Amino acid sequence: MTTMTAAFFDGKGKMELRDHPKPVVGPEDIILNVKATGICGSDLQMNMDKDAPDKLPVGHEVAGIIEEIGENVDPKLLGQRVAVEIIGHGRACTTCWYCRQGQFKLCTNMAPPEGGGFAEFMKRKAIGCYRVPDSMSWEEAALVEPLAVSIHGVRRGDMKGGEVVAVLGSGTIGLTAIAAAKALGAEKVFATARYEQQATLAKQLGADGVLPDDGPAFWETIADATDGRGADVTIETVGGYQSATMHQAVTVTRDQGRIVVIGGFRRPFEFNFLTPMISEQSIIFSSCYAVLEGRHDYELAIDMIASGKAPIEQMVTHTYGLDQIQQGFETSYDKSTGAVKVQILQ
């Protein structure tokens, strides 16, 4: 059996390279020659939560070249440069009720996982591949996934042109949320940032104000900009092991405003629903991407990057080869390195 090099979490805090069987193409599948994969904050958090080694390589912010195609796949796809929607569309059955609504992540007959982008090659269904223009760098192509996450959140929050948006957190998803909200017509976007490099990028991507993630200054800035009302839409992107950002979201959002939760919270916490209930705030959860109003979030993300409306390549602060993936993860964990987005390039 042909093998490839792939990276795995060893269950002891390290990423290690191992030989792994190269995936075998099926009738509806493609084999991707992986060119770039981003290290997501969820990769870091999941590694901290794991107590056993990975059985499959992970990595879901993926772009590359289609190297093999199945017998039922359009031959025109062979050799194409693509960003791959590997979580939903690339595994979806396309026939269940959710798939027919374009909600591929909720597919009830999902194909089994077969590994992600921290490897030389990856297999997915051809329908999950979205072509990217030749003018787009691999770094940009691997940012399609996190931008699509934020586009989905902005659309789930029903943001309208001219509204004021608050973004809690300026990690990868917070920064792409700033870019997405601006590109989709927000009048003003205000963000919190914990690290200097995040604040700098938030401003470069269009934030009208960037404040520390604690203290009263963030609310005061939003209140000044809205005659005391608060943000029309607040996007929570932090999640993790804390609850402060959910309480902050309620505070900075106006009466009858919308709170969109993108951050993945890793433990239960107490939350007082009385305040948002009295204020008639809507709390909306947003996960990954889908087809909304006839277009997949990936399509919008590719258009935004290619047109320059979302100039997010500057978010990539560090790149490493697959053989340096442990160093890439160490850099991602250590924000004193100036890291924002770390990518593995091949």
- The neighbour count for residue 21, using CB atoms within 10 Å, is 11
Q: What is the pLDDT of residue 53?
A: 85
Q: What is the pLDDT of residue 224?
A: 97
Choices 3.40.50.720, 3.40.50.300, 3.10.450.50, 3.90.230.10: CATH for 149-285: 3.40.50.720
Q: Which two tokens stand for residue 300?
A: 């919008």
Q: What is the pLDDT of residue 45?
A: 80
Indicate the domain borders of the chain: 3-142+311-345, 149-285
CA gap 162, 228 in Å, rounded: 17
Q: How many Å is the maximal CA-CA distance in the chain?
A: 67
Q: What is the pLDDT of residue 47?
A: 74
Sign of CA dihedral 310, 150, 158, 251: negative
Q: How many residues does the chain have?
A: 346
Q: Which residues does the chain have with pLDDT short of 70?
A: 1
Q: What is the pLDDT of residue 43?
A: 87
User: For residue range 128-137, what is the model confidence (pLDDT) as tens digits?
Assistant: 999 999 999 9
Q: What is the pLDDT of residue 1?
A: 64
Query: Whose CA is closest to 288, among 133, 131, 125, 92?
Result: 92
CATH topology for 3-142+311-345 is Quinone Oxidoreductase; Chain A, domain 1 (3.90.180)
Question: Average pLDDT over the chain, rounded to whole?
Answer: 96
Q: What is the pLDDT of residue 279?
A: 98
